[in-house]
Each structure stands twice: as C-alpha cells, then as structure tokens.
Amino acid sequence: MPYNPLPRSARRVRVPVALAVTSVLLLGAAAPGQLPPTGDAVAAGTEPVGRMPLGPADVPTHTRPADVLAPGVTYRKFWQGEASDSWAVWVRDRQSGTETFGSIDPARKLAADVNAAGFTARVDTFTVPASVDTDSRIVGYGVRVGRFAADRREDAVQTRQALAAAGFTNSRIFFTAEDGGASRGPWQVRVITVAPSARVTLKAVHGKDIQGSETVRQLAEASGALVAVNGSEFDITGPANNGFEGVPQGLYLQNNTLLSAPNNGRTALLLEGLKGRAAVDEISSETRITAPDGATRVIDGINRSAGHVLGCGGFGNDYRLSSQVRTLQPWRNTPCVDPDEIVVFRPEWGAATPTPVRRDDTWTDPATGWQAQWYANQRDFADHAVDVVMDGNWVVRELRAAGGPIPPGGRVLQGIGAGADWLRAHSEVGKAFKPGSTVRGRDGRSVTTPTLSAVAGGTPALVRGGEVWMNPGANGMSQASCVPAQLGPGEKCRANNTLLQRHARTLAGVTAAGELLLVTIDGRDPALSVGATLPEAAEVMKWLGAEDAVGMGSGGDTTLVAKDTLYNRPVDDWGGPLRERPMSNAVVIVEKP
C-alpha cells in the first residue's frame, strides 16, 4: 500500500485491511555499552537532530562518536536525565489478589481498608493515549502506599513488610516511573545501524530446538553473529504451552520456513524479504493440508502444544481461556484454547512431539466456570489424540497415540478432538498429504522470498511513514470491549495499560534510506535508565529517522550483544541484579565471508 504523498503533518493513516491472498509453499565481558574505538568512521544514516524526545526540554542529550563494528554497521549510545521518581508499594486486594481495578469503587474500598489499618493510601488513575485503532480513556486504578526517594528502597521494603503483617500480602515494590507519568529519567538508549550496502546477513535464529530457550549471547555465539538482540515474545514460564518455555508467541519465519504461525494481523519485523533487507508489516498466514483422498483442512498451529494458542489470533474454535467467548482476534500474552486442533511438528521443534496434557489440577473462573469445563474436556481429548507420522515428503508412515519421536527430516501431524477424528478418517499409510501456506502483509500480498526471516513484534507498530503511528488494537493490547460484537456504533477498541507503562524496550525500524535500526532502551533501574512507554519509544524511533518501526520483546527480555559483549543491562525487576534471560529466538546480524 503506497504511502500518502501529502506532507507528514497533513497525513491521516487508516488501519489497513487484508485483501486477497497469494499462495506460496512454505512448510518445507567488557563493561556494558563500552566498545573500544575503531577509528574515525562516522555512523551511517542521518544524524538525529536536537535532543532525544524523553523528559522535559531542559534535560540535555549526551552521546559519543559512533563505533564501527563492521563496514556499514555502527553502534551509538545516547543518555540523559537523572532520577526524579520514587519507590512505593502497590497494594493487592486481600481476597481477590487484584492489583489493577477496572472501576473506581473497589479501588476506593481497598484504599479505605488500608487506611483503616494505619497506613496512608492513595488511588492512582491510569489513562492511555489514543491511537489509530483504540480510544483514549481511563483503563484502571491502583492503590499505592508511600513515596520514597530513589536511594531509599529499603523504606519501601519495610512498608511492604508492615502491610503484609496487616494482611495485605503479595503487594509489590515498584518505582513510580513505571506508571508512565512525567519523569526526568534517566535513560540509556543504544542504537545499531545497518546500512543497505553492509556485507551482512539479517536473520532470525533459535537455539537447539524451538521448544527450549537460550540467552541472546548463546544464540549469537551459535550463529556467529556480529550483533544480536532479543526477538519474539514468548511464554516465559511455559504454562500456556505445557512447560515448553521457548515457544514463540506468534510469527517466526527462518529462511522462508514457517516455524510458528502468526497471531493473525499483528505487526512483525521482516528481514531479507520482498520489501528490502528490512521491513515492518502486519502479517497473517494460513496453512492448509490436502489429504490423499482430496479432503482439505486448515492447520491450526505449527510447533506448539495442540489446543493452546498463546496470544490468540488463530483459526477454528478458539476461545479465550478466561471466558466462553469465541475469538479469532489477537490478545497479547493471553491464552486461547481450542479442543479441535491439528498442529504440525517439524524437526526444529525437538526430538519428539509432546503428549497432550491430561490435566486434573483445574481451577474455576468464578463468573462462568469455563476453565474447569475446559480442563475436563482436555482430559478427554488427551486420551483421544493421534499422531500421523510422515517422512520429509509428507508420505504417511504410521498412525500412533500422540507423543513420540519425530523422524529425521520428517513431519508429524497431531490432532485432538475433531482434529484427531479428521486425521483418522483421511490418513492412509503409504500416501502423501500436500501442504501449502500463505504469508501475507497488510495489502494482502505474499511477503515471502527464499531468504525471508521474520519475527512477530512484541508491541504495536510505532512509526509509519515517518510519523508516530500505533495500532494496539490490531496487536491484542486492548480491553474486552474490542470484541466486535461488543462495540457500539462508531466505537473504537479500548487500549489497555500496556501503552502506559515504562519498561525496557527492544525496537526495530527502517529508515527512508533502507537502513535497519536495532535499538534498546534499558529500564527498571532508577540510577541508570527507567525505560520508556510505547508512545515514548515511538518518538525515539521517529527521532532516529525511522520511516517504519515496531517493538520486539521488552522488559527483562531486552538484550543487546555485539562482538561477544553484553552492551546493555537486562534486569527482571526494578532494582534487581543484571540477568541475561533465556529467550525464544533472536534477531542477528552475521557478517558475510
């Protein structure tokens, strides 16, 4: 879709709609941030003008000359600001454990209970900005106690202990910069710029197998990368994928092979594709198989636990786990479930297909009882599940109970519920299935090339056409009222507070000259860098010259490794120790011989 030729100040960009589909066959340590100078070369691309757009206008931006990592690949660091926020305790409700309330009355009641226990509580309001596909309005309320200086975290610790003794358990210590209000920082921003002419390969990589996780440093070493940053968001602790913590959330393509299906419509980073060495687009896909008898069916997933769709946005009978509402729209970090799936497993998954979980440890949604019913059904389809084992040409070799070896170079179709019934009815030993996938951008056209790699963004789009442009609704960062049937005439979706919060960020963008920008903003450290809200991250990418930009994984995911050195400071919690978190995959820059 061509960009509007009007001046940027006059542009109004609409949310794109997918059109027709083109088919294509796919299934087939030095001090952090301190580099030794490497000469007098300057950074490729346009120099940012003025101060970095973080904090008030009197906070100056500091930088130093660019370091050249390789011809056409440069590194720069920008920093500014000083601590101005405070430590506080975020109080949870004693009965429900709720931290963020959707309406003011329960928040006021909790605050009154806290005050009655001898503390001084306040109710803070969370309001998100408008975007191209969401409304701007209040999204929640939180109850907080205390305001302690950046160097007085121990006062917050003591307050939390006192609150716990009074019965307010599970409250957490946080730094108020997280709320996204006015702040003086500080901030540390690191920028890798890759010129279009650089003799490098841009790609996405995973570790030993897709089901597991490895640190960005390990992924960089294994791939011989010059530079690596974290890629997909993923299920950090594994419950949505039955313990397989490395499973990416949504799209993951490597060398034109679809290794994880997208949460359809979410924004992604494309590398070495049709639109240049790097591009940002909203991606959807569909994979179909044709059985030996001519019957066809959509494949629900690729390399993930059958029945579990982390981030939603799939096919078939997908339901949000917390309700009985069927939905095919993305819901970031939210598990959807489907009792009637077929999932394909490739050797990249690992040595063997998973055994569908036969769960007895149910818990019940207090409003609907839906989750208890889902887990009861799950016990049934776990016993009914089937594997169709095939060779590399998709010729069926055997049918077996689900859970077993994946043959070298082969494939396995695993079915549960109605999916298992379909496979049993249409599989024939010695005869082949025919697979086919489409991967399309927001204009409905295929985006595939033989060298294409891609990873789903962890956030909405941030910049489009050189201007801040965010689509959180399309990326599943929204409230339940975004279900189309629940929207009133002319009503937009309501964004959730993910737009508001400051966290560490990993960002990717493409300049008008075709340069790739890989950017990290550290966070959760009152002394060094507090992180950025998504609107702040978008302003930074615009300042750096991005024509299009998207966010990758964030928070404790945010990691930058270059020349075998960890450059930034990844942490899991505010004020916590440096920790390199194992990841699902990484975006890497590899020098060509």
pLDDT tens per residue across all 593 residues of the chain: 333 322 333 332 222 222 222 233 344 433 333 333 333 333 445 689 999 999 999 999 999 899 999 999 999 999 999 999 999 999 999 988 999 999 999 999 999 999 999 999 999 999 998 899 999 889 999 999 999 999 999 999 999 999 999 999 999 999 999 999 999 999 999 999 999 999 999 999 999 999 999 999 999 999 999 999 999 999 876 555 567 889 999 999 999 999 999 999 999 999 999 888 999 999 999 999 999 999 999 999 999 999 889 999 998 888 887 666 778 889 898 888 888 999 999 999 999 999 886 554 444 445 555 555 555 556 566 678 999 999 999 999 999 999 999 999 999 999 999 999 999 999 999 999 999 999 999 999 999 999 999 999 789 999 999 999 999 999 999 877 777 777 778 788 888 888 999 999 999 999 999 999 999 999 999 999 999 999 999 999 999 999 999 999 999 999 999 999 999 999 999 888 999 999 999 999 999 99
Q: Which of 134, 160, 179 is the last residue of a domain?
A: 179
DSSP state, residue 129: P
Position 67 in a domain: no
Whole-angstrom distance, CA of residue 334 vs CA of residue 318: 12
Position 483 in a domain: no
CB distance 503 to 524 below 8 Å? yes
CB distance 404 to 389 below 8 Å? yes
Position 219 in a domain: no
Q: Which of 179, 202, 219 is the last residue of a domain?
A: 179
Whole-angstrom distance, CA of residue 495 vs CA of residue 533: 14
Position 261 in a domain: no
pLDDT at res. 41: 35
Token pair, residue 51, equals 């101060």
Query: Is the pTM higher than 0.85?
Result: yes
DSSP state, residue 10: G
pLDDT at res. 37: 38
Q: Which of 399, 432, 465 is the last residue of a domain?
A: 432
The strand pairing partners of 162, in sequence order, are none
DSSP state, residue 57: T
Query: Containing domain of residue 309, as a range?
Result: 292-432
Token pair, residue 228, equals 């690596």
Task: Let me know whether 172 and 300 are in one domain.
Answer: no
CB distance 275 to 370 below 8 Å? no
Collapsed DSSP state (helix, strand, coil) of residue 543: helix
Number of domains in the chain: 2
pLDDT at res. 214: 96
Position 273 in a domain: no
Task: Let me know whether 171 and 296 are in one domain.
Answer: no
Position 372 in a domain: yes
Helix, strand, coil share of the chain (percent; to 5): 15, 35, 50
Position 517 in a domain: no
pLDDT at res. 339: 86
Position 277 in a domain: no
The angle subtended at Cα 5 by Cα 273 and Cα 542, nearest 5°, is 65
pLDDT at res. 382: 66
